[in-house]
Amino acid sequence: MSDSKILETFPNPAPSRDYIIEHTHHEFTSVCPMTGHPDFATITVRYVADKICVELKSLKYYVLSYRNVGIYQEHATARLAQDLFKALGPKRLSIRTIYNMRGGFDTTCTVSLPG
């Protein structure tokens, strides 16, 4: 199971400014709960920090914690957004997942918070 407790933070160096922080990870993997086959995706985390920012190594380990999790693509995107929003308390956050083709379909999911 994925573990949001892995996420570490540090103080936002410019909390009075609304600047966009964007992280992209090209090696997200989870498992389709229906077939057991792996799902591969590129994830983009985009947020405007309030008081804290996410530490990158902990974000990497958090994303890697999905490796053996049986979860639908849409649910994975929503859970990533919910966990990061809870951990960071940002002004705005969006998660975009672009999944590799499976069964002839490309799938892109986006969740934005607050909604």
Choose the catalytic residue: 3, 18, 32, 109.
Answer: 32
- For the record, the structure tokens of 71 come out as 């979860």
Choose the catalytic residue: 3, 18, 39, 53.
Answer: 39
Query: 106 catalytic, yes or no?
Result: no
Q: What is the dihedral of CA 67, 73, 75, 80, to 10 degrees?
A: 60
What DSSP string describes 12-53?
-S-TTS--EEEEEEEEEEEE-TTT--EEEEEEEEEEE-SSEE
Query: 39 catalytic, yes or no?
Result: yes
The catalytic residues are 32, 39
